[in-house]
Copies of this chain bind each other. A is one copy, B any other.
Amino acid sequence: MVFYPKYDSRKAGLPPGSLVYLGKKRSEKASIHVIDYDSNHLSEREIVHCADCRGYMNENTVSWINLDGIHDIEKVREFGEVFNIHPLALEDVLSTGQRPKIEDYGDYILFTLKMLYMDDDNSDLVAEHFALILGKGFVLSFQEVEGDVFETIRERLRTGAGRIRNMGADYLAYCLIDAMVDSYFVVLESLGEHVEDVQDEALEKPASSTVAEIHRLRQELIFVRKSAWPLRELLSTMEKSESPLLSRKLKPFLRDVYEHAIQVIDTVESLRDLLSGAMEIHMSSMSNRMNEIMKVLTLISTIFLPLTFITGLYGMNFEHMPELKWHYGYAWAWGCLLLSSIGMAVYFRGRKWV
Contact = CB atoms under 8 A, between A and B. Distances in A.
A324 B329 contact: no
A313 B314 CA distance: 9
A256 B99 CA distance: 12
A126 interface: no
A130 to B, nearest CB: 16
A270 B4 contact: yes
- Could you tell me the dominant secondary structure of chain A's interface residues? helix
Interface in A99-145: 99, 101
Contacts of A333: 316, 318
Interface string A251-276: 01100110110110011001101100
A136 to B, nearest CB: 22
Interface residues of A, number: 113
A164 interface: yes
Interface in A199-240: 203, 207-208, 210-212, 214-215, 218-219, 222, 226
Interface stretch (A34-42, A48-56, A59-67, A300-308): A300-308
A52 B330 CA distance: 98
Total identical chains: 5
Contacts of A9: 182, 185-186, 188-189
Interface stretch (A25-33, A71-79, A280-288): A280-288
Given A13-B149, A290-B290, 16 more contacts: A3-B270, A5-B185, A5-B263, A12-B182, A13-B179, A98-B259, A208-B281, A208-B285, A210-B284, A215-B280, A294-B298, A304-B306, A311-B312, A311-B315, A313-B337, A319-B324
Interface of A: 3-6, 8-9, 11-16, 88, 97-99, 101, 149, 151-153, 156, 161-164, 178-179, 182-183, 185-186, 188-189, 192, 203, 207-208, 210-212, 214-215, 218-219, 222, 226, 252-253, 256-257, 259-260, 262-263, 266-267, 270-271, 273-274, 277, 279-291, 293-298, 300-302, 304-309, 311-330, 333, 337, 353
